[in-house]
Amino acid sequence: MGFKLMRSGIKQASKETILTPRFYTTDFEEMAELVNPANIPQQQQEELEAYLREMKTDYNQRHFVRNEKFKEAAEKLSGPTRKIFVEFLERSCTAEFSGFLLFKELARRLRDVNPTVAEIFQMMSRDEARHAGFINKAMSDFNLALDLGFLTKNRTYTFFKPKYILYTVYLSEKIGYWRYITIYRNLQRNPECQFYPLFEYFEAWCQDECRHGDFLAALLKSKPELLQGPIAKLWTRFFCLTVYITMYLNDHQRSAFYEALGLNTTQFCRHVIIETNNTSKRIFPEVPTVDSPVFWDLMDKMVSVNNQMAAIDNGTSSTPALLQPLAKLALMERLGSLVLRVMLMTPIEAGSYDFENPAELVY
């Protein structure tokens, strides 16, 4: 399939770019202060304890069990679809493993501060490790795998402040839920497009993502300052748009994969973003106006510009080689201006709480 190998059967990780899944780290001391029970209202601490009981149930403990269909399906898959599916597996495995590393470290660092929160993070890392291992095993059906230990030591880690971690990981979990359930429901309607049994696991799988997102929403609610005021509104809208734009550009670079699943890439992305935005309205004080034709026109223009930059990077651009650096610089400026225009669009006021009276939370 043309992939570079580290050694026999071990795929070399794809080059890191601004659009590839990231590994995160944070200020763990600041996070400890954030989740200190002394700084969390009793009502929210009780809600966190309820999530701990939910996570202990481990609904998917016996869900990720393979069968003979996996290898058989892999052997039948060929051509461009085989290659682009392996790329999908790699990206998905990397993203799940990134969550495992972050949650595991948070569990370790927060154990003495807030055992309830620490144990929930430990169980989230359990789920993410299960997902990453299941996907990596699927890659072995194609005689490939990722060296996750090597990634742990050699991947670039992006530093985010704790509150940014909460915003972004909440969005990642919720958008992951909507991606998985949308693919699953489409394949239930169009079983002829289900070319690999991994997708059959998505219905229960996505519930893990949903539970993780709900827990992070509870953490955010325990810190009202993260969900009120002009700064909170700015950050929640910014991270929503960052996640939406990244997904929209990434998926349109891989339209062949979604078409193989019987999906229209643009319709799929728009549905997932709209539903994620609707979900985020329940917690974030402000979200982007994704139901505007202007918003989608700007997003589609970003896709066009991003595809032109990708053509320069992979050597398929018709621009003369001598002019390509200048052409790419102009395209980057164009993409930046489109992103800025989206950022400046009038947002939607949202949020599940009215914090005007701090003595009483009003749903």
pLDDT single digits (tens) 308-341 = 999 998 888 888 888 889 999 999 999 999 999 9
pTM of the entire structure? 0.92
In DSSP terms, 5 is beta-bridged to 11
Q: Identify the burial level of 165 via C-beta atoms within 10 angstroms of its C-beta, where 0-12 means exposed, 13-18 middle and 19 or more buried.
A: buried
pLDDT tens digits, one per residue of 226-281: 999 999 999 999 999 999 999 999 999 999 999 999 999 999 999 999 999 999 99
pLDDT over 70 at 362, yes or no: no
pLDDT over 50 at 174, yes or no: yes
Q: What backbone torsions phi and psi does residue 10 show, to the nearest 5 degrees?
A: -110, 115
pLDDT tens digits, one per residue of 124-147: 999 999 999 999 999 999 999 999
CA distances from 310 to 55, 76, 143 (A): 41, 30, 28
In DSSP terms, 23 is beta-bridged to 157
CA distances from 179 to 76, 104, 152, 186, 205 (A): 25, 24, 26, 11, 11
pLDDT tens digits, one per residue of 10-57: 888 888 777 788 899 999 999 999 999 998 888 888 999 999 999 999
pLDDT over 80 at 355, yes or no: no
- Quote the pLDDT of residue 352: 61
- Quote the pLDDT of residue 99: 95
The mean pLDDT of 89-95, rounded to a whole number, is: 95
Helix (H) or strand (E) holding 25: strand 23-25
Q: Is residue 49 within 8 Å of 116, Cβ to Cβ?
A: yes
Q: What backbone torsions phi and psi does residue 7 show, to the nearest 5 degrees?
A: -160, 180
